[in-house]
């Protein structure tokens, strides 16, 4: 449908920095790291012993005991974040037209925690002791499924799985559903709870994780010459997206407008980005073009910025390819320096952070950027936040498998 505008009316976050959008945002502005030694299990035998864990999360704050027992931790995070988002959007009961409300939640590894636990049950106690809830707890679509059930949303309901671009793609696909006129409103975002032995061992085996165990808070260091891998994190971030007229008709307050989305593929390698960030560059350029914007219009980029050697270098090259000389003007930050990398939830969390940068007129910093890589020579907002008007902001999410996803947000103007 031509001319359809899509606005964000609610946001919710469960992150390693806090159990709400505001707590997370304040921690970001303070440059606080959410990374520490793993407490979920004994990490002593592992090469990597650090992660960005969610602290103080009690599922019983958000659901009853029975529901908590039957949901994986990634789904619990999604339910909690969705409750915050719906409250802000003023949707406290079943929506008036549930058949036109979608639920799209991305994840990279889904219920890996439940799956790994039940493998242990199978080995130690035999097949008859495996939980009847194993399958519905481990499935990657269960965050969207459980949210649809919890809030009565009867429109399209599915999960996006595109590795570290999953949460961004969920928001982008919800945006497209609204623009096509198929739904009026969508709950969209990402959720992940991957901090378990098999995940740490697997990522260690492919040399992806930082081994800076002696100083966890300084381990995630995007664009720094001494970066040695990403720090795995957990959490969820959810947005309420709406067709503008629908939001205004029910008296909701638009927060920001989502004006552009693009997804591309590298078609190159299972884990490495394409040289020069070619796929990421195409995603950024397409998202800008679809938003009707030019490089000079962008005031901030929330980079994927994983703290891995190739990603940070190639993303820098991709930004230069798209923005030319403007690339040196635009403030960029990688908030993964503080939150760690939430895998399939990363793009959703960073979309919320990008929206907050517009709302609050503040750009969060990239911490731990002590020795900039000469090949990463843009303005990465080191250590200290920056304040001023942010009218247009971009969020990048890139994933194993060659997935690239870009979202463009704009300040809400009637």
Sign of CA dihedral 405, 143, 177, 238: negative
Reported as a pLDDT band with limits 50, 70 and 90, residue 33 is: very high
Say if CB 164 and CB 343 are below 8 A apart.
yes
For the chain, give the mean pLDDT.
Answer: 97
Backbone φ and ψ for 119, nearest 5 degrees, come out as -60, -40
From the candidates 164, 196, 246, 403, give the one annotated as an active-site residue. 164
From the candidates 101, 196, 246, 304, give the one annotated as an active-site residue. 304
Reported as a pLDDT band with limits 50, 70 and 90, residue 92 is: confident
The model's pTM is 0.97
Stretch 324-343: mean pLDDT? 98
- For this structure, is 403 an active site residue? no
Sign of CA dihedral 354, 284, 230, 332: negative
Identify the pLDDT of residue 2.
Answer: 65
Position with higher pLDDT, 2 vs 22 = 22
Beta-carbon contacts of 249 under 8 Å, excluding residues fewer than 6 positions away, are none
- For this structure, is 269 an active site residue? no
**Which tokens belong to 135?**
């399958």
Identify the pLDDT of residue 414.
Answer: 87
Q: What's the 3-state SS for 160-173?
A: CCECECHHHHHHHH
Answer yes or no: is pLDDT of 1 > 60: no
Identify the pLDDT of residue 197.
Answer: 97
Q: What is the DSSP string of 264-331?
A: EE--S-SSSPPGGGHHHHHHHHHHHHHHT--GGG--EEE----S-HHHHHHHHHHHHHHHGGGGGTS-
pLDDT tens string 122-133? 999 999 999 999
Answer yes or no: is pLDDT of 100 > 80: yes
Backbone φ and ψ for 366, nearest 5 degrees, come out as -105, 110
Answer yes or no: is pLDDT of 96 > 70: yes
Answer yes or no: is pLDDT of 241 > 60: yes
Stretch 19-32: mean pLDDT? 98
Same fold, 7-249 and 262-402: yes
Instruction: Domain ranges for the chain, please list them.
Output: 7-249, 262-402
Identify the pLDDT of residue 95.
Answer: 81
Reported as a pLDDT band with limits 50, 70 and 90, residue 160 is: very high
Identify the pLDDT of residue 327.
Answer: 98
Answer yes or no: is pLDDT of 236 > 80: yes
Q: CATH top-level class for 262-402?
A: alpha beta
pLDDT tens string 366-395? 999 999 999 999 999 999 999 999 999 999
pLDDT tens string 275-330? 999 999 999 999 999 999 999 999 999 999 999 999 999 999 999 999 999 999 99
What fold is seen in the domain 7-249? Peroxisomal Thiolase; Chain A, domain 1 (3.40.47)
Reported as a pLDDT band with limits 50, 70 and 90, residue 169 is: very high
- For this structure, is 246 an active site residue? no
pLDDT tens string 57-82? 999 999 999 999 999 999 999 999 99
């Amino acid at each position: 449908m031509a001319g359809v505008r899509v606005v964000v009316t609610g946001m919710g976050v469960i992150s390693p920095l806090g159990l709400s959008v505001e707590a997370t945002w304040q921690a970001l502005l303070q440059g606080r790291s959410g990374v520490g030694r793993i407490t979920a299990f004994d990490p002593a035998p592992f090469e990597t012993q650090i992660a960005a864990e969610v602290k103080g999360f009690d599922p019983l704050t958000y659901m009853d005991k029975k529901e908590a027992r039957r949901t994986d931790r990634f789904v619990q995070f999604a339910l909690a974040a969705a409750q915050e988002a719906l409250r802000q959007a003023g949707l406290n009961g079943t929506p008036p037209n549930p058949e036109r409300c979608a639920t799209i939640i991305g994840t990279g590894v889904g219920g890996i925690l439940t799956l790994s636990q039940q493998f242990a049950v199978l080995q130690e106690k035999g097949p008859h002791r495996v939980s009847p809830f194993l399958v519905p707890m481990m499935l990657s679509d269960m965050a969207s499924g459980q949210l649809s059930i919890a809030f009565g949303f009867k429109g399209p309901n599915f999960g996006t799985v595109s590795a570290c671009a999953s949460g961004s793609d969920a928001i982008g696909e919800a945006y497209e559903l609204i623009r096509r006129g198929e739904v009026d409103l969508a709950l969209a975002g990402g959720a992940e709870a991957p901090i378990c032995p098999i995940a740490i061992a697997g990522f260690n085996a492919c040399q992806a994780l930082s081994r800076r165990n002696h100083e966890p808070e300084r381990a995630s260091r995007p664009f720094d010459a001494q970066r040695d891998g990403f720090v795995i994190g957990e959490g969820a971030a959810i947005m309420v997206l709406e067709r503008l007229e629908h939001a205004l008709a029910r008296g909701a307050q638009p927060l920001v407008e989502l004006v552009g989305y693009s997804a591309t593929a590298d078609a190159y390698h299972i884990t490495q980005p394409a040289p020069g960030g070619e796929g990421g560059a195409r995603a950024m350029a397409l998202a800008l073009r679809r938003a009707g914007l030019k490089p000079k219009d962008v005031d901030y980029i929330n980079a994927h910025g994983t703290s891995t050697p190739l990603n940070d270098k190639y993303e820098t090259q991709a930004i230069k390819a798209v923005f030319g000389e403007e690339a040196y003007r635009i403030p960029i930050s990688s908030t993964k320096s503080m939150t760690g990398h939430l895998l399939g939830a990363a793009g959703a969390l960073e979309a919320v952070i990008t929206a907050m940068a517009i709302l609050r007129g503040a750009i969060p910093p990239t911490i731990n950027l002590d020795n900039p890589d000469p090949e990463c020579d843009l303005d990465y907002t080191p250590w200290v936040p920056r304040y001023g008007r942010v009218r247009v902001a971009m969020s990048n999410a890139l994933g194993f498998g060659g997935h690239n996803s870009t979202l463009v947000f704009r300040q809400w103007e009637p």
